[in-house]
């Protein structure tokens, strides 16, 4: 059955799967509302250029954390588009269903919201291979896609987390659009092993085909407009988070229309004083593994001052330098200033 038919059917049937103690009226009467606004500016001294960007999210979530059925909508005001529109039915911890516009499964870095990442902006690998603004396929969807996925967890602990978490699904492979533009579907999966409360290991995979934009073929070859292009991704990562520090790393390998690419990032942060955090990140991206001059390495250092105890209001100052493998391309510096405000309220 086509994905565009599954979502309406799921939403029509969903009230019937609510527990007998929870009526539809009660479910809709206590939404969790939140909003987040991030304003940033990037200055590159060598180019004497300044670029400002704004992220303003409105989120409405229906259903409590322990409810079997939950529904979440996230809308971005500057782009005037929905970033998330998903429904989750979790009758058992081991088996649940997530359907709609949602985060892609194979990548873990982009599951961190921009205002919770600890740095300003995602790594090169996430941007070029994770469906973000510079994705090599030309599909820019903030690492989101439309589909249906099974998810669940096994081996629960007394500390409130499970040792093994999984998600596996089928997606349109066409970004934000609920209506697909070809008959091909993408397969995505993620496996998370949690050794302790703060330490996790991840592995993800995506394989599928997409309809390339006119004149946008990453491999540089000429194909007919009806030809589909391959889009395959594999990722592995390690994640450690604690109240005082974090260490995160992820490696992504991708094939985009025959072009083989690879990227890796490592980042660490330390809350050296209450509300003051210092974080560093180094990431390398090789656009074409057959061309040694197609790589770039970026180093970032970010200072963040949390103005509130819960981190809902903060500002960041980040310096970065990009080195290029091509000796004919000079490295560039960047300065980024960011202000973030976010809040949540359950009515």
Mean of the pLDDT values across residues 88-112? 93
Mean pLDDT of the chain: 86
Q: Write down the pTM of the prediction.
A: 0.84
- Give the pLDDT band of residue 245 (cuts 50, 70, 90): very high
Provide the residue count of the chain.
Answer: 347
Which class for 141: exposed (0-12), middle (13-18), buried (19 or more C-beta within 10 A)? buried
Q: Evaluate if residue 16 carries a pLDDT over 50.
A: no
- Give the pLDDT band of residue 89 (cuts 50, 70, 90): very high
Mean of the pLDDT values across residues 24-49? 77
Q: Evaluate if residue 17 carries a pLDDT over 50.
A: no
What single-letter DSSP state applies at residue 161? -
What are the residue ranges spanned by the domains of the chain? 3-8+39-346
CATH class of 3-8+39-346: mainly beta
Q: For the chain, where are the E strands, in sequence order? A: 32-44, 49-62, 69-76, 81-89, 96-103, 144-156, 162-171, 186-194, 199-210, 229-241, 245-256, 259-273, 276-286, 295-306, 313-324, 332-346
> Measured between alpha carbons, how far is 203 from 192 in angstroms, rounded to an integer?
7
- Which range, 42-51, 136-145, 146-155, 336-345, is most confident? 146-155
Is 97 within 8 Å of 89 (Cβ atoms)? yes
| DSSP sequence for 208-234 | EEE-PPTT--TT-----TT--EEEEEE
Which class for 225: exposed (0-12), middle (13-18), buried (19 or more C-beta within 10 A)? exposed
Q: How many Cβ atoms sit within 10 Å of the Cβ of residue 248?
A: 24
Between 108 and 27, name the one with better pLDDT.
Answer: 108
The confidence score (pLDDT) of residue 220 equals 56
The confidence score (pLDDT) of residue 6 equals 46
Task: Please write the tens of the pLDDT for every residue from 188-234.
Answer: 999 999 999 999 999 999 999 888 766 566 655 555 545 788 899 99
Is 291 within 8 Å of 325 (Cβ atoms)? no
> Measured between alpha carbons, how far is 343 from 198 in angstroms, rounded to an integer?
24
Q: Is 280 helix (H, G, I), strand (E, B) or coil?
A: strand
The confidence score (pLDDT) of residue 151 equals 97
Report the candidate in 231, 246, 234, 232 with the shortest Cα–Cα distance to residue 277.
Answer: 246
> Measured between alpha carbons, how far is 324 from 331 in angstroms, rounded to an integer?
6
């Amino acid at each position: 059955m086509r994905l565009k038919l599954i979502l309406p059917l799921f939403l029509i049937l969903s009230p019937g799967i609510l527990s007998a103690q929870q009526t539809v009226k009660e479910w809709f009467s206590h939404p969790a509302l939140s909003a987040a606004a991030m304003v940033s500016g990037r200055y590159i001294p060598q180019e004497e250029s300044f670029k400002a960007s704004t992220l303003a999210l409105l989120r409405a979530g229906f259903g409590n954390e322990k409810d079997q059925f939950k529904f979440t909508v996230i809308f971005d005001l500057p782009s005037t588009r929905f970033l998330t529109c998903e429904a989750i039915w979790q009758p058992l911890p081991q088996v649940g269903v997530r359907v709609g516009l949602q985060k892609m499964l194979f990548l873990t870095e982009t599951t961190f919201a921009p205002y919770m990442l600890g740095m300003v902006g995602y790594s090169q690998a996430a941007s070029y291979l994770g469906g973000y603004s510079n994705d090599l396929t030309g599909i820019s969807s903030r690492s989101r896609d439309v589909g249906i996925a099974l998810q669940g967890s096994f081996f629960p602990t007394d500390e409130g987390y499970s040792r093994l978490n999984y998600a596996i699904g089928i997606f349109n492979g066409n970004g934000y659009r609920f209506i697909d533009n070809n008959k091909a579907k993408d397969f995505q999966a993620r496996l998370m092993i949690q050794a302790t409360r703060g330490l996790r290991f991840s592995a993800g995979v995506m394989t599928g085909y997409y309809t390339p934009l006119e004149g946008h073929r990453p491999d540089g070859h000429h194909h007919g407009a009806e030809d589909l292009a391959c889009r395959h991704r594999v990722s592995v990562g390690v994640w450690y988070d604690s109240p005082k520090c974090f260490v995160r790393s992820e490696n992504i390998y991708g094939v985009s229309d025959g072009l083989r690419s690879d990227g890796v990032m490592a980042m660490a942060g330390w809350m050296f004083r209450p509300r003051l955090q210092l974080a560093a990140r180094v990431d390398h991206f090789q656009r074409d593994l057959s061309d040694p001059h197609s790589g770039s390495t970026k180093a970032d250092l970010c200072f963040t001052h949390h103005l509130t105890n819960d981190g809902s209001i903060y500002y960041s100052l980040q310096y970065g330098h990009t080195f290029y493998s091509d000796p004919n391309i000079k490295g560039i510096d960047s300065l980024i200033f960011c202000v973030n405000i976010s809040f949540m309220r359950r009515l």
